[in-house]
Structure 1
């Protein structure tokens, strides 16, 4: 029986993992995860590329994966270093004949794939990549990648007209591994140069990483609490755990498969009926797919200053003070500040909140849009490269949004989605004694601010669209 190196990437699960299943059938498996040290680097903006919330969630997910592999007769080798080098050394050490892993689509990840593959060729080791991160398989699209519609609605209609979701692969229940497989420990945050931290008092989600937690949340959301049938009614709420599925962080690391979620929703529809809410959650999975395929279509343009549209006419500001006030939630715009403080203290922000702070960043402050995307990349526990950078392109007006003037007024949005200012007061306790009307009207708030209220007066000119 030949040795097979299995490289875990953003597929930290045993269920619906075609690559792992094929590896287990192929030979004696050496499961490996490499924590890339390049992700710990400080950005020129003053924060780490990968923040503490993301690292904590990743390490928890690796601990869970290691435990689940041990239960089925294997283990997980965890190394810290440069993946293409560490993986090659392990491939040579274990005399493997094949490397199996999942396929990624964006530049840095595919560069690592290519460099690793080149190294393997010097030892005549074969590398096989499997597509497994999307709901719709790339080969099942009704068009070639360079014909992916730029507008989501067009994409959705064409995909749904030829709807085909491949069945979930059976869970891997047994793996043979070499008897001399190296025993490693998942590093701690301190080992990686991060300080450990406690959950913030206002953190109502308290993420815990891992496949076991992901499947537990799926069961809770769909079956125990039956929340899936009410999703469309609650999805724009701002505060709490159950107004949305909270699958995003698990999807980002592949602790759960999008197809697993899809078929669980389909089971719930068979048992309790289909409605707008069950469709809308599948619709969200399709949005996620869309950004994967957009990333595949446009490549590095997703990350360039001119964006997907190659728009070189836009001028972006590099005002560090405004950027810091946005990050810290001290802009003087209560709805924006509440959102940004939640993100800073918990690593999470609702979809509605993300749209508003991104719009404010690009349309009101006019700052370099990719600065905001970099901060989200560092801070979001559910960061996913395609969705994050695709959404920032979209909201900055240099992406795939068919409306060039899309704008979210922080005043009208707050009045619509937080009419009693409950969310704002939750994250801005200094405004707890201020009336709803004053909090929601920026100019009135400015008039009453004095030494007794420690809240910044906005230096941002009032937008005419407010």
Structure 2
């Protein structure tokens, strides 16, 4: 009788899951989720010029806990179950494999170096114990084996990549949910079924939902499928996606699928199948195409991490730029003060501050906000972009290594773009928050400021400040930098 372990990683779902399908071919199956302590608390960034940062914040910790609880309920309903253990995956899986006399361990293969190193340790340790291991690619729209030129042949610019996969690759059909065999006798295992620690047990504050947020993100496959159903079918929002995707307020200006995609609660191939059906049954337009375009951008960043490895996360990036004099908050007091103000949303630049406060209060920020917030830190302040990206890693409920660090490097001019460019924050704010509704939503101290000044309160004289109820330097900060001067210096 063959016994298999399914090591659950960022693939906490029953639908379209190659690792689960393969593991379910055994006569006995033990699904296992491992809480790795290296993912929590203060951890080193790694590599040259490393620094320490808080790795996982309260919003993502809560989302992960909900995700595991939902997976456990789904497995229980199928006559299976889920074991949760804390420790290094190689140690935990080796111990469990020995305890149940496992023949094989199936797991999700991931592209980023940290995740690949964890898998290598598991493969090595179980190999010494003569336990078979098999990785399965389950996280992207296009399978890694279907790339026209393989990982190393991927162009470092998105457009050629997109054209190659659109023209010369395919998107595989989602796999059906398998019938699950029973688990082995768990009476011989110590520790019971186990549970994911609460945020408090991880040393984090229990986050409370802020009703100013765009959506109450709940972890798990059930919630992810519900969100897809609501956005595409019930509310029929997909037909307007391209026009509304740069919105800032409300649940439905964009799909908001990223947290469930990042945690693996939702398969991108399943999303594409819904888009294909929507095009057949309702409408095919630039919005339906653009959602798939964004999934391919996500693929691009995932495959770039696999191609470039650690260099993708290095300060000089894949362009290996050593011509930028990055300020280091670890050694430069001015940069440290600026970075702390940036993290608190107290830069004195309303569009930056509103977006950062939304992130701090909800674990989410729009794509438009992320680009502007990143550009301000990296291009106007010239603070080491990795510091900002690491802060996003901690705060974001939808953190994904490739998408987060790849997009930060892109904006900072060290990643997948040959151009040096920046975001004019005030111009962007006027384009996407014309009347200042978003800024006032998150910066109540500016609620009385009219649209003419809400994005540039420093343009008000003292009489106007008094009339509108905000005194700069008292009610709201003075700007920490002259934006126009910073753009001129950048140019």
Q: Same fold (TM over 0.5)?
A: yes
Deviations, residues 307-327 of structure 1 (Å, cap 9, x unaligned): 111111211012111001111
Task: Give yes or no for contact 2:113–2:306 (8 Å, CA) kept in 1.
Answer: no
Q: Does 1:48 align with 2:54?
A: yes
Greater displacement, 41-50 / 287-296: 41-50
1:202 deviates by 1.4
Matching of residue 282 in structure 1 with residue 297 in structure 2: no
Whole-angstrom CA distance in 2 between matches of 1:119 and 1:91: 11
Q: CA deviation at 1:80?
A: 1.6
CA distance in 1 between counterparts of 2:181 and 2:221 reads 17
CA distance in 2: counterparts of 1:334 and 1:355, whole angstroms: 15
**Paired residue for 2:4?**
4
Once residues 321 and 445 of structure 1 are traced to their aligned partners in structure 2, the CA distance between those partners, rounded to angstroms, is: 25
Residue 391 of structure 1 is matched in structure 2 by 407
C-alpha RMSD of matched pairs (Å): 1.6
**2:127 corresponds to:** 121
* Aligned residue in 1 for 2:350: 334
Following the alignment from structure 1 to structure 2, what is the Cα–Cα distance between the partners of residues 270 and 312?
Answer: 50
Q: Does 1:263 align with 2:267?
A: no
Task: Give the Å deviation of 1:282.
Answer: 0.4
Q: Which runs of 4+ in 1 moved over 6 A?
A: none
Quick one: which of 214, 217, 222 aligns to 1:204? 214
8 Å Cα contact 1:439-1:445 kept in structure 2? no
In structure 2, the residue matched to 1:361 is 377
Distance in 2 between residues matched to 1:279 and 1:144, nearest whole Å: 24
Cα deviation code 1:279-315 (max 9, x no counterpart): 0000000000000111111110011111111111211
Which of residues 286, 303, 314 is equivalent to 2:324?
A: 314
- 1:217 corresponds to: 227
Counterpart of 1:376? 392
Residues 430, 172 of structure 1: CA spacing in aligned structure 2 closer, same or farther, 3 A cutoff? same
Q: Following the alignment from structure 2 to structure 1, what is the Cα–Cα distance between the partners of residues 89 and 202? A: 16
2:122 counterpart SS class: helix
Output the CA distance in 1 between the equivalents of 2:130 and 2:465: 71
Q: Which runs of 5+ in 1 are unaligned?
A: none
Q: Say whether the 8 Å CA contact 1:449–1:455 is kept in structure 2.
A: no
**CA positional deviation for 1:443:** 3.7
CA contact (8 A) 1:37 1:81 kept: yes
Counterparts of 1:232-251 in structure 2, within 5 Å, are 232-251=242-261
Q: Give, in whole Å, the separation in 2 of the partners of 1:372 and 1:242.
A: 27
> 1 CA distance for matches of 2:97 and 2:336?
46
What is the 5 A alignment of 1:72-111? 72-111=78-117
Provide structure 2 residue ranges, at least 5 long, that are not aligned to the other structure. Answer: 45-50, 329-334
Residue 229 of structure 1 pairs with residue 244 of structure 2: no
| Larger CA deviation: 425-434 vs 101-110 | 101-110
In the alignment, the residues of structure 1 paired with residue 441 and residue 157 of structure 2 have an alpha-carbon distance, to the nearest angstrom, of 37
1:135 matched residue in structure 2? 141
Residue 191 of structure 1 deviates from its aligned partner by 2.7
The count of residues paired between Structure 1 and Structure 2 equals 465
1:85-124 per-position Cα deviation (integer Å, ceiling 9, x unaligned): 1111111111101010110111111111111111112211
The CA distance in 1 between the partners of 2:157 and 2:261, in whole Å, is: 23
User: 1:442 and 1:364, CA in 2 relative to 1: closer, same or farther beyond 3 A?
Assistant: farther
Cα separation, 2, equivalents of 1:83 and 1:184: 15
Corresponding position of 2:448: 433
Equivalent residue for 2:478, pick from 446, 457, 464 = 457
* CA-CA distance at 1:185 after TM superposition: 3.0
Q: Is the 8 A contact 2:13 2:264 kept in 1?
A: yes
Which whole-Å deviations, capped at 9, do the CAs of 1:151-208 have from their partners, x for residues lacking one?
Answer: 1011111111114111110013433211326422333222323232321231231110
Kindly state the Cα deviation for residue 134 of structure 1 after the two structures are TM-superposed: 0.5
CA contact (8 A) 1:24 1:176 kept: no
TM-score (norm 1): 0.97
Q: 1:326-376: per-residue Cα shift (whole Å, max 9, x none)?
A: 111100001111011001111100000000000111110110000001000
